[in-house]
Amino acid sequence: MRREDGGLYTGISTDVARRFQEHRSGRGSRSLRGKGLREIEYECALGSRSLASRAEYRVKKLAKAMKESLIESDFSRTELLAFLEMGLD
């Protein structure tokens, strides 16, 4: 998700649209309160919470330029896992 200040937020959810609305209404992550969200930049169904959590951890470690590259590439599930150097479960 893109914040109003141009920053990026990475998270996981089983319902991305619902979670986005929770964040926008102030009921989401404490780190986003008062920062405003503009839009969902990228989402990818990974199939399991475990895999999503591991991918989230790796994305959060990326430099902002690499995150922007990931967004622009609009990777499929397989491409995203390869980009993050993760195997399929």
> Mean pLDDT across the stretch 40-53?
94
Is pLDDT at 88 greater than 70 in this prediction? no
The answer to whether residue 88 is domain-embedded is: no
The answer to whether residue 45 is domain-embedded is: yes
> Mean pLDDT across the stretch 33-44?
87
Please report, for residues 9, 25, 35, the alpha-carbon distance to residue 60 in angstroms, rounded to integers and kept in the order given: 8, 23, 18
- Tally of domains within the chain: 1
Lowest mean pLDDT among 8-17, 30-39, 70-79: 30-39
The answer to whether residue 21 is domain-embedded is: yes
> Mean pLDDT across the stretch 45-50?
94
pTM of the model: 0.85
Q: How far apart are CA 22 and CA 40, in angstroms?
A: 13
Q: How far apart are the first and last CA of the chain?
A: 25
29: Cβ contacts below 8 Å, ≥ 6 apart: 9, 11, 23
pLDDT band at 53 (very low <50, low <70, confident <90, very high): very high
The answer to whether residue 89 is domain-embedded is: no
Q: Which two tokens stand for residue 30?
A: 């404490």
Tokens 């649209």 — which residue? 17
